[in-house]
Amino acid sequence: MSVSNGRAFLAIPGPTTVPDQVLQAMNRPAIDLYSGDHLDLTASLLADLPKLFRTRGHAYIYAANGHGAWEAALTNVLSRGDHILVLDSGRFATGWGEMAEAMGVSVEVLHGDWHSAVDPNKVEERLRADAKGDIKAVLVVQVDTASSVANDIEAIRAAMDAAGHDALLMVDAVASLATMPYQMDAWEVDVTVTGSQKGLMTPPGLGFIAASDKARERRRLNANLVTRYWDWSFRDGNEHYMKYCGTPPEHLLFGLRKALDMLLAEGLDNVVARHQILADAVRAAVARWAEAGALSFNITDPAHRANSVTTVRTKGFQPKALLDYAREKCGVTIGIGIGGLEATAFRIAHMGHVNAPMVLGTLGVIETGLKALEIPHGKGGVEAAIETIAGVVKA
Ligand SMILES: *Cc1c(COP(=O)(O)O)cnc(C)c1O
């Protein structure tokens, strides 16, 4: 028996659900890349993207996924042999660091564990010890999509300032932009990297960067890793094709335009509040289920749990059995654990185009699976989620 036919739900942390309006905006013929319409589209995107990052700095759009945007960021500000510091809190900052290493950068990892956020005191301590200023950049993720930790970027900036260190602060906001507060200028972030397919509700294939003046100055002065495709200076050129270093990824841009319209119409603060409420609902359910001991939060401190994804640890059962049940029997795809957590965790995504029925439906399916598979769990997880939402969202 199965009850999976109907609209399939994707509850994985990227790619996320693409709104029908975004899909429809893409369903049109290609346009002339030299036309005024296309120039206007590009200008509007480059004007609106910085609003998401809350920066007056420059945005760049790449036909690339998040990994491409990572490479873009590194090549524009670093030179072969530069030393950088990677703040580990899961899989993604270290992955970014591995990419830098492959490019000839000397990479030092400030190790963390997968259960807590980066400790700003340790960052300060390490930077204080670097009196000569060898460390050229500090790399960190705002949300690590494997561990589901949310790092405090503002506190990390404060730690860098307290150490009086001049390194660039480079932040991966792929799994957090438009889901949690982000203040690029107020937090003095130099480079922010993100992608289209998570909070931005657009199909995979676009990478974005926002760069501060200081970062762009680095590019001009001494970044010898730069290559033409990623080069900000080339993309700063006047001709339209230069903005993309070739033919623009037109249909993705049509989709992105619609997605940004939707986010800006809702209002960024409301978008963030929606994610907060829905994440609180997920956490209320997980906390209830966890009472029987077979499930637990991967991130110990509630203050550092992401509002975009929740990694749930499992004990005494294979998460695959639960995920297979959810997908095959009930039509909801839930994220697997990654980076070594395949057999001991699953991930519930609550990011992007999500609303109460999608989250309550997903939680309902997980609870159904826990019951059907006879996995020990505290009763009433969905009820706890409902109480959370009803407690905040008033008539
Ligand atoms: C998804 C993700 C990436 C990588 O993005 P791709 O588009 O898969 O290359 C990088 N960082 C974080 C935090 C992510 O969640």
Q: pLDDT tens across 136-180, in order?
A: 999 999 999 999 999 999 999 999 999 999 999 999 999 999 999
Residue nearest to atom 2 of ligand 1 (CA): 174
Q: How far is the CA of 81 from the centre of ligand 1 (A)?
A: 25
Q: How far is it, in rounded angstroms, from Cα 66 to Cα 47? A: 21
Atom number of ligand 1 nearest to Cα 13:
15
Q: How far is the CA of 390 from the centre of ligand 1 (A)?
A: 33
Q: What DSSP designation does 57 have?
A: S
Residues with CB under 6 A from ligand 1: 14, 65-67, 92, 141, 145, 172, 174-175, 195, 204
- Ligand 1 pocket mutation, candidates 70, 87, 174, criterion most atoms within 8 A of CB: 174
**pTM of the predicted structure, to 2 decimals:** 0.98
Contacts 24+ apart (CB under 8 A), 33-39: 33/240, 33/241, 33/247, 33/248, 33/250, 34/240, 38/240, 38/248, 38/250, 39/240
The percent of residues in the chain predicted with pLDDT above 70, rounded, is 100
Q: How far is the CA of 355 from the centre of ligand 1 (A)?
A: 23
Query: Two tokens at 55?
Result: 């920066």
pLDDT, one tens digit per residue, over 7-56 is 999 999 999 999 999 999 999 999 999 999 999 999 999 999 999 999 99
- Please state, in angstroms and as integers, the Cα–Cα distance from residue 79 to each residue in 40, 83, 108, following that order: 35, 9, 15
Residue nearest to atom 5 of ligand 1 (CA): 66
Q: What is the three-class DSSP state of 198?
A: coil
Residues 110, 146 contacting (CB under 8 angstroms) = no
For residue 315, what pLDDT is reported? Answer: 98
Mean pLDDT in residue range 330-358: 97
Q: What are phi and psi of 300, to 5 degrees?
A: -70, -45
For residue 222, what pLDDT is reported? Answer: 74
Sequence ranges of the chain with CATH classification 3.90.1150.10: 9-16+267-392
Q: How far is it, in rounded angstroms, from Cα 272 to Cα 48? A: 17
Structural fold of domain 31-264? Aspartate Aminotransferase; domain 2 (3.40.640)
Q: How far is the CA of 139 from the centre of ligand 1 (A)?
A: 14
Residues 191, 171 contacting (CB under 8 angstroms) = yes
Q: How far is it, in rounded angstroms, from Cα 387 to Cα 284? A: 9
pLDDT at 369 over 90: yes
pLDDT, one tens digit per residue, over 238-249 is 999 999 999 999
For residue 255, what pLDDT is reported? Answer: 98
Strands 9-11 and 83-87, sheet pairing: unpaired
Q: How far is the CA of 134 from the centre of ligand 1 (A)?
A: 28
Mean pLDDT in residue range 254-276: 98
Sequence ranges of the chain with CATH classification 3.40.640.10: 31-264
Atom number of ligand 1 nearest to Cα 144:
13
- What average pLDDT does the chain have? 97
Q: How far is the CA of 266 from the centre of ligand 1 (A)?
A: 25
pLDDT at 223 over 90: no
Mean pLDDT in residue range 131-139: 97
For residue 328, what pLDDT is reported? Answer: 98
- Please state, in angstroms and as integers, the Cα–Cα distance from residue 284 to each residue in 287, 314, 358, 371, following that order: 5, 17, 16, 18
Q: How far is the CA of 204 from the centre of ligand 1 (A)?
A: 10
Mean pLDDT in residue range 275-284: 98
Answer CATH for 9-16+267-392 from 3.90.1150.10, 3.10.580.20, 3.40.50.620, 2.30.110.10: 3.90.1150.10
Q: How far is it, in rounded angstroms, from Cα 144 to Cα 304? A: 11
